[in-house]
Structure 1
Amino acid sequence: MPVAKAVTSSRRTRAWVIAAIADLAATTEHSPSNLTACYRRQRPERGMSGCSQASNDQPIWYECQVAYFDDLTTYSYSEVDTVELEREWLQFRPGYDRINVGWLDASHLFEVGPTPDRFANTLLDIIVAPRINAVREFHRCPFCPNRPGDSMVSVEHPSGRVWLGHTEIRVPSRPGAMFAAPSLIWHYVTAHSYRPPAEFIEAVEQDDQGWTSDASPWIPHDAVRITFD
């Protein structure tokens, strides 16, 4: 598995990581588009139509319309998965199937109903770490018309405030398949009574985030690994 060491200065680290990811990707046929978009100083190329700059403060965030995909369809939003761990990033082209859950918008109906008592808390723990496919742009909730246009959805967690709408999650479903959901799914469940498919609820309740470990069968041997001192 390719490994690289990064410098510790925040600004230099970001620039170095982008360059290093690109260099390593060139040798492993991975695309660095996800990580590059996180730190662009202009509008991200992979942003969806309807993107607009949400704030002049640094870092720059871009507001984007939420992508819509039917539940339990094949995920196609990004060809690669980028996993942000505590002191490293992994990027790879998944060998597993990815199944859409929770990619909602206001023009499509969705299932509503109660979820198990601990479901929302467990789901939030999954959102906190590891972060998947983090990007500079953020998706606003399409069901909150009174929320300011430049306001990201956030929630308190024992680890600190969590911002929703610019990352994804992965939850093992069955051998060779993972559920792929936007981090806004927690808000949809708790604020708008969205009830995800039963198999997703079951997978969340049984989730083990050990899938990101070195010995995990989910991480391919040729994954690009960027480590931080």
Structure 2
Amino acid sequence: MFYEDLSEYTYQDEDTFGDRESFYELWYRPEYVRLNIGWLEAGKPYSTGPVPAGFVEKLQAIQQVQWMNICLGVHECDLCPEAEAPEGNGEIRIPGEVGIAYAAPFLITHYITVHGYRPPQVFIDAVLAVDLDAWAATRWPDVPFPWVPEDAERLLE
């Protein structure tokens, strides 16, 4: 599934955050603009190059605490040989400047570490700005993302 970096995210109308310790979820229609990052596909060009020290580790740590748009099906990396292709089934949201959130697939760290993908600098800066300690300490009914509206619907069972 390919989307050009920094194009507007249109795959799903709502954002759904799952609680990592239960089956609880909350969902809402975002009031922020979502921009695509790292939706790569074989045969489509993408930026390559080094990323700053500590960036991948921070991105992986964010993926451990934020469960976003988890799907029942999986998406395989089609840049890898079929027998070796890892799978992903969710997304992450990273807040950028006010009113902008970056939408990336869960496979983004794989794309960076194995395929040399280099996300746009604004995304790198946004990831590095995340207060990981605050996100990791977040517990239900809050989620590790700052722009969830007060009227978000919550599924409690």
Task: Name the TM-score class by shorter chain.
Answer: 0.7 to 0.9
**Percentage of identical aligned residues:** 41
Equivalent residues in 2 for 1:1-229 (5 A)?
Answer: 67-85=1-19, 86-87=21-22, 88-147=24-83, 153=86, 164-208=87-131, 210=134, 213=142, 218-227=147-156
Q: Equivalents in 1 of 2:156, 2:130: separation in Å?
A: 25
Q: Equivalents in 2 of 1:97, 1:138: separation in Å?
A: 25
The AA in structure 2 aligned to 1:165 is: G
- Stretches of structure 2 that go unaligned for 5 or more consecutive residues are none
Give the drift of 1:146.
Answer: 4.4
The AA in structure 1 aligned to 2:17 is: V
**Structure 2 equivalent of residue 14 of structure 1:** none
Give the drift of 1:147.
Answer: 2.3
Q: Equivalents in 2 of 1:69, 1:146: separation in Å?
A: 21
Give the drift of 1:143.
Answer: 1.0
Q: Equivalents in 1 of 2:63, 2:9: separation in Å?
A: 18
Q: Secondary structure at the match of 1:137?
A: coil
Q: Equivalents in 2 of 1:97, 1:89: separation in Å?
A: 21
Q: Equivalents in 2 of 1:203, 1:183: separation in Å?
A: 16
Q: Secondary structure at the match of 2:62?
A: helix
Q: Secondary structure at the match of 1:201?
A: helix
Q: Equivalents in 2 of 1:177, 1:133: separation in Å?
A: 18
Q: Which has the larger radius of gyration?
A: 1
- Stretches of structure 1 that go unaligned for 5 or more consecutive residues are 1-66, 154-163
The AA in structure 1 aligned to 2:121 is: A
The AA in structure 2 aligned to 1:68 is: F
The AA in structure 2 aligned to 1:112 is: T
**Structure 2 equivalent of residue 48 of structure 1:** none
Q: Secondary structure at the match of 1:128?
A: helix
Write out per-residue CA displacement over residues 179-207 of structure 1, whole angstroms, 9 at most, x where no aligned residue: 00000000000001100000100111111
Distance 1:98 1:111, change over 3 A: same
Q: TM-score, normalised by structure 2?
A: 0.86
Q: Equivalents in 2 of 1:98, 1:169: separation in Å?
A: 11
Aligned residues: 148
